[in-house]
Amino acid sequence: MTLDTMLLAGAGVLLAALGAARLSSSVGLPSLLLFLFLGVGVGLWVEFDDAALAHDLGFAALVLILGEGGFTTKWREMRPILSLAGLLATVGIGVSIVAMTLFGHLVLGLDLATALLLGAVTAPTDSAAVFSVLRRVPIPARLRAILEAESGLNDAPVVLLVSAATAWALGESTESPPLILGMVLVELAGGLLLGLAIGWLGARVLKRIALPASGLYPLGAMGWALLAYGAGAYLHVSGFAAVYICAVVLGNSDLPHRNATKSFAEGVGWVAQIGLFVMLGLLAHPDRFALDVAITGVLAGLFLTLIARPLSVWACAAWFKVPWREQAFLSWAGLRGAVPIIMATVPLASTLPQAKTLFDLVFVFVVVYTTLQAPTLGWVARKLGVTTGDDAVDIEVEVAPLDKIQADFMQIKVPSGSKLHGVTVFELRLPPSTVVSLIIRDGTPFAPGSRDVIRTGDELLVVVPSRYRYRVENRFKQISRGGRLSRWHDDRD
């Protein structure tokens, strides 16, 4: 293919993926599944069977997705649940691997090496699925934070475990299980510390450096996150843990053009997701999916969803006295997506004879159970009583500077489920000289008075003195979550 043809085909796939994303929001299916099916469809005309390249590109896309997740994670919500999320990403992974290995060997009849690989590959929850699906579901912020932090951290130990399991299946492993466990813990801890250090340094550099264009700040922030991953790989610690923690630190720092940086990270994350899932769809070959492989994949997914995942959640959450209803929701919401399929490319890129069967099995189970779980998360949360369905989805805030009057211009969108609905402009209790200058409702703008009521779907245009910017942003977020009686907190998100 010539370069021009590749650009034409790439643009076509990208635009088709954007259409698929729009369709997914209408029908309630996660967009990642439609991206996968798009890749399978493209695979009817384009032959792609390079597992090693898929492995490398998959890891690169996962780095960008983890970076996007870190930039958009709120430390205020993550801090109280970090211990539980850390246990789920380590102890929970171990419990799931053991349970799935026993089930695969004793019930499904897989040889021990394949059963162990199945357990290791399917153990992690998927950051792309969790970040893209959960942030549209009205559930308590604490549960969302647990699932997001777990998915951001559990890739790190699984990479080493899958590599070790592949080497053992090939008869090339010389390390004992205690040594492998020790290596996992050391690499994870090293990655966390490295991410903290590079994130701290990057935040201070970006605050003090004067770049010639505002668009360079998002590039600089993403560059620091990628530096964390590269440094982690070079130092033989977890690059995945490093990039996620570095992005969390940067995303929660008072960076210049902070909202532009988060928007840029979200755009990069979407590009990575589209490319990743389309590529994994290309790697799948439906004509290779025998009935016995499909049945085995469905049974493995059923055991993982109903037995192994709840067992791993209970083993970690019981120490924190998490109510059983919340444990049940955390179990159901442990979405598997691209990560298990990417991990399945590790043995696929080797000479392991059973690797293609394992890949097909994992692909089937991911498609079936993501289709089942993702659209039902809100319904399950309501049935379990962990939410009434009116938990707030965070408002979107864009800020532009008005240098001459030392003020900022805010554009605030009121999403469905926000408790800003029904609040009057007067009840916002904004600081002096802060003005809600315009409300756009159903495409029609009007200048509001103090008694005008804010509605779902409104866009508010607010002029705020620069010194009050974060207080005003916090105020809107507090009311969005807690309603008009929410207290004024001066902390910064």
Q: Express each pLDDT in 207-263 by its tens digit.
A: 888 778 778 888 999 999 999 999 998 998 889 899 999 999 998 887 777 777 888
Question: Closest Cα to residue 281, out of 211, 366, 353, 212?
Answer: 366
Please, what is the end-to-end C-alpha distance for the chain in angstroms? 48
On whether the CB atoms of residues 393 and 417 are closer than 8 A, the answer is yes
On whether the CB atoms of residues 73 and 285 are closer than 8 A, the answer is no
Question: pTM of this prediction?
Answer: 0.74
Alpha helices (H) in 79-140, listed in sequence order = 82-106, 112-122, 127-134
The number of C-alpha atoms within 13 Å of 125 and in the hemisphere containing its C-beta is: 34
pLDDT per position as a tens digit, 350-384: 878 888 888 888 888 888 988 888 888 888 988 88
450 — pLDDT class (breaks 50, 70, 90): confident
490 — pLDDT class (breaks 50, 70, 90): very low
Cross-strand partners of 399: 410
d(CA 320, CA 337): 28
The domains of the chain are located at: 20-384, 396-482
Residue at token pair 């809107």: 476
Q: Is 171 helix (H, G, I), strand (E, B) or coil?
A: coil
Q: What is the mean pLDDT of the chain?
A: 84
Ramachandran sector of residue 486 (left: φ over 0; alpha: ψ -120 to 50; beta: rest): beta
Protein fold of 20-384: Na+/H+ antiporter like fold (1.20.1530)
Domains 20-384 and 396-482 share a fold: no
Helix/strand number for the chain, H first, E second: 20, 5
Question: Mind giving me the DSSP string for 225-265?
Answer: HHHHHHHHHHTTS-HHHHHHHHHHHHHTS--TTHHHHHHHH
What's the token pair of residue 287?
């004509």
d(CA 250, CA 196): 9
Cross-strand partners of 361: none
pLDDT per position as a tens digit, 11-62: 988 898 888 877 776 666 677 778 888 888 888 787 888 888 888 888 898 8
Cross-strand partners of 411: 398, 461
What's the token pair of residue 165?
């399991």
Instruction: Describe the crossing of helices 239-251 and 216-234 by its angle, rounded to 10 degrees.
Output: 150
Protein fold of 396-482: Alpha-Beta Plaits (3.30.70)
